[in-house]
Amino acid sequence: MKIFWLGLALLLSTSAWAAPAGIMARAWVVIDQTSGRELASYQADLPLAPASLTQLMTAYVLLGDIRKNKLSLGEALTVPESATEADGARVFLKAGEQVSVDILLQAMLVQSASDATLALVAAADGSEAAFVERMNREAKRLGMAKTRFMNATGLTEPGHESSARDLAVLSRALLRDFPERKDLFTQKELAFKGITYYNGNRLLWRDSTVTGLKVGRTVQAGFCMAASARRGDQRRIAVVLGGRSDAQRTQDALRLLNYGFENFESVRLYRAQQPVKVAPLYRGARSMVSMGFAQDFHLLVPTGSAVRVKAEVITRQPIVAPVRRGQRMGTLRLVLDGKPVGDYPLVALHDVAVAGIFGRGWDSIRLFFAK
């Protein structure tokens, strides 16, 4: 997709608006949630302490366990002594008490509660160390190249680090892979044992379009936030790390989200399995083959410019059977106002077997005269 970014850079260079200004965080990024495309960034690959944004990965692993029935939301867990000894934010669990997985998850995501986090990971894997190994495996699988987790809570520890870009990737994965759990990230408060805990994500109160995700803070990390929002059919994610105050990280994240919504739009050009082109096929059990995209194809462009996108389908002829579903068959070339946007591979949407002997013979004659 390098060609896409070259084309987008050319478009941006002639646009009337500039990159977001006034962002004070040490590192930041804003992306389109649907496509994962980056809209703007600053020091997005700088390894930094992520504070309790770490718990987004803890949640990702735990939600996977719930989906696999390794844990269940209604299951009551016995709080281990080790969880009650945790530093950081807490909901004051007591050793031996029974608390549901659901409440512990809420405590982790609303209050960043270390005691709830450790109770969950102990139930999942027996120890925090074993659970952290899985966190790092998932980080590697998701392509979080600047991330190394040393614990599940986000407490300061040498070598425990991530980056704004990696945390945006993780935030997108959470919202994409566990849409049925999205309410966990919009919850404003939690009442537990007579105390009400309030979510530190102030954007949940300031902007009704905000859909999550989480905040964190330690002395080393500063004030951090991963925020997502949906306006109409558009979705954006912003991550800020190393902020100087709660107010600053909130304002930074909101500015980044506003920038993403005001200056870009993500447009679905083709649905999954929708034929983009139907091309002639030789020596096949069928005379034609459909090509398109295996997943919905979204294009990210400057706001208002989607109607000016021109498309061209390029195929290498002749196309000869057999054809396997998913096999690359051609290229969709997109151009906006005469500038290249990108080349995107088109794949076969179905299998086509080789024709019988008579069909192959006839097509051999056709191919001879087509040359």
| Residue 308 belongs to domain spanning | 271-370
CA distance 246 to 202: 9
pLDDT of residue 256: 98
Looking at the structure, do residues 72 and 151 belong to the same domain, yes or no?
A: yes
Looking at the structure, do residues 258 and 294 belong to the same domain, yes or no?
A: no
pLDDT of residue 8: 47
Q: Give which of 237, 298, 168, 28 is closest to 19, Cα–Cα.
A: 28
Looking at the structure, do residues 287 and 213 belong to the same domain, yes or no?
A: no
For 233, half-sphere exposure in the C-beta direction (CA atoms, 13 angstrom radius) is 7
Written as six digits, the tokens of 206 are: 């300031």
Average pLDDT for runs of 10 along the chain of length 371:
40 52 95 94 97 98 97 96 93 97 98 98 97 98 98 97 98 97 96 97 96 96 98 96 97 97 92 94 87 92 90 89 93 93 94 75 61 57
Q: Are 344 and 277 in contact (CB under 8 A)?
A: no
Q: Give which of 346, 349, 309 is closest to 331, Cα–Cα.
A: 346
Residue 253: CB partners within 8 Å, gap ≥ 6?
A: 203, 225, 227, 238, 239, 240
CA distance 371 to 365: 10
Asked whether residue 4 is domain-assigned, the answer is: no
CA distance 302 to 179: 27
Q: What are phi and psi of 151, to 5 degrees?
A: -150, 175
Looking at the structure, do residues 280 and 256 belong to the same domain, yes or no?
A: no
Number of Cβ atoms within 10 Å of the Cβ of 9: 10
What is the per-residue burial (b if ≥16 Cβ within 10 Å, else e) of 244-273?
Answer: eeeebbbbbbbbbbbbbbebbbbbebbeee
Residue with tokens 């179905």: 350
* pTM across the whole model: 0.86
Looking at the structure, do residues 109 and 199 belong to the same domain, yes or no?
A: yes
> Distance between alpha carbon 27 and the CA centroid of its chain, in Å?
18
Looking at the structure, do residues 144 and 208 belong to the same domain, yes or no?
A: yes
Residue that is last in its domain, among 233, 263, 293: 263
Looking at the structure, do residues 250 and 150 belong to the same domain, yes or no?
A: yes
DSSP bridge pairs for 226:
214, 239
Asked whether residue 337 is domain-assigned, the answer is: yes
pLDDT of residue 364: 67
Residue 233: CB partners within 8 Å, gap ≥ 6?
A: none
Extended strands (E) in 147-209: 189-192, 195-198
